[in-house]
Chains A and B, each alone.
Chain A
Amino acid sequence: MSISRRKFLHGLAAAGLTTVLPSTARAASQGEELATLLDLSKCIGCGACVEACKETNAHKFPRPKKPFPRMYPSRVKVFDWSDKQDVDDRLTPYNWLYIQTANVTWQGKEYEINIPRRCLHCQNPPCANLCPWGAASKQANGIVRINDKICLGGAKCKNVCPWHIPERQTGVGLYLKLLPSFAGNGVMYKCDRCFDRVAKGLIPACIEACPENVQTIGPRDEIVARAHELAKKTGGYIYGEKENGGTNTIYVSPVPFDILDQAIEKGPGRPHLSPVPNSMAREENLAMAVLAAPVAGLAAALLTGVSKVSQEKQGDKDE
């Protein structure tokens, strides 16, 4: 793509295009969280975003070496998508975005709602918090990324993600250099919100490619405000603002999400749309106890010391 056609965060914002909010470039450079708004009433399900994602991120896709090392115990399964790279109706290591479709009737009207699905980039992401290896983490701009140089493919991130988003490819990554037969099983892949493009001030490929301007990117507070405005104006519903304690992907739909959730195809690589409580809530509450424990321990030692001294003094007096 020629430079003149590449859309820059600030250039677009200045041009007043709806896909980028004016304050995005400033927010991004200040390390503020960016979020995306997806107006589902606009999506025609053309798949241009899916194609753009594949094309733009192809250089990050796995290039596994075959044959794969034998893995023990034998029940450890190989996850190989390298011969199915064209699959685009679910999430795979080679397809980080796909379109879910729901045909529904709501308040007497028929709707076809198309829902671009990918990682939601949670604000307090359990995939990153529970990664034991430091491979998954969140960037200051709200992007949650899995480092393909570090990930061992144990799939814990997928297990703890409420939508089971990350997808595994066997035969790539660091585990090959460690104990490939006994630990690890490849690398986990998912949408990285085009971190490299965003770092250069460009917008994510899927946003840029969309002919209907379904997505808008901007500082999170402004995106949330805009989502509420849109929902209010159209009588729409919101998903992603509060899910899992808050995400940086906010969907607005003319049809309630529980109805969409019933109508979409779900299963491996095809995430649901049901309500999700904050996965990290218990840890967030327990943190205070962990942090207070050292102070409490010291205080208790001092107090028992004081009471002992005073008991001894009392003893002296009694004698």
Chain B
Amino acid sequence: MSKQSKAIWSKNLFNLLVFALLFTGLAQMPIFKRYYLADIPGFAWTSDFYLNHILHYILATILLFWIFFRLGKFLRQGQRGIKTISPFGWAKIFIWAGIIITGILRVLKNQPNIFFSPETTMFIDWTHPGLVIILGLAALLGKFLRQGYFKG
């Protein structure tokens, strides 16, 4: 496979992964049953909260591995690489970091021996999807302004 088609494939797979995470994340809200999605033959699973919760965990594992693999490769370039990141890119990186951190905190919270106060729990629960929405808006804005992660 040529380098270019490899990059396109990788981008498509990444987008698919993000979409699946969005979907299973949205499935945490009790809306797929209310709005008939779960009634479509073959879609009953969309209202199974436990199933979607576990799928979200599995997809998050793959995404985290992917992101950190890319990050590791990027960091190998040292200072040189970091200097090429655009201000818009930095903004997106910080939003991603927030999503990842709140997601990991939520996973920790779901462990039996780890305890977070009700206020912290609520903060995490609101920030995680809130940042996803902001990331979505940032991505749209990026498309509109033709801004990417990198300068130039």
Contacts and interface: CB of A to CB of B under 8 A. Distances in A.
Interface of A: 73, 76, 123-124, 128-135, 137-140, 145, 147, 150, 154-156, 159-160, 183, 245-246, 279-280, 282-284, 286-287, 289-291, 293-302, 304-305
A234 B104 CA distance: 46
Contacts of A294: 64-65, 67-68, 100
12 contacts: A130-B50, A131-B125, A150-B122, A154-B29, A154-B30, A290-B57, A294-B67, A294-B68, A297-B71, A298-B72, A301-B68, A301-B70
Contact of B67 (A286, A290, A297): A297
Chain B, interface residues (CB within 8 Å), range: 35 or more
A318 to B, nearest CB: 23
Given A138-B115, A293-B61, 19 more contacts: A132-B28, A135-B122, A137-B116, A137-B118, A147-B122, A154-B31, A156-B28, A183-B31, A280-B110, A282-B50, A284-B111, A286-B61, A287-B111, A290-B64, A290-B107, A293-B64, A293-B65, A294-B100, A301-B75
B60 interface: yes
A297 B28 contact: no
A245 B111 CA distance: 11
Contacts of A290: 57, 60-61, 64, 104, 107
Contacts of A305: 72-73, 76
Contacts of A145: 118
Given A245-B112, A283-B110, A130 B49 contact: yes
B34 interface: yes
Given A286-B54, A300-B72, A133 B109 contact: no
A283 B57 contact: yes
B126 interface: yes
Contacts of A160: 49-50
A221 B121 CA distance: 26
A124 B112 contact: yes
Interface in B41-98: 49-50, 53-54, 57-58, 60-73, 75-76
A301 B73 contact: yes
B85 to A, nearest CB: 17
Among A295, A299, A301, the one with the most B-chain Cβ atoms within 10 Å of its Cβ is A301
A135 B126 CA distance: 10
B110 A73 contact: no
B141 to A, nearest CB: 25
Nearest to B31: A183
A151 B84 CA distance: 45
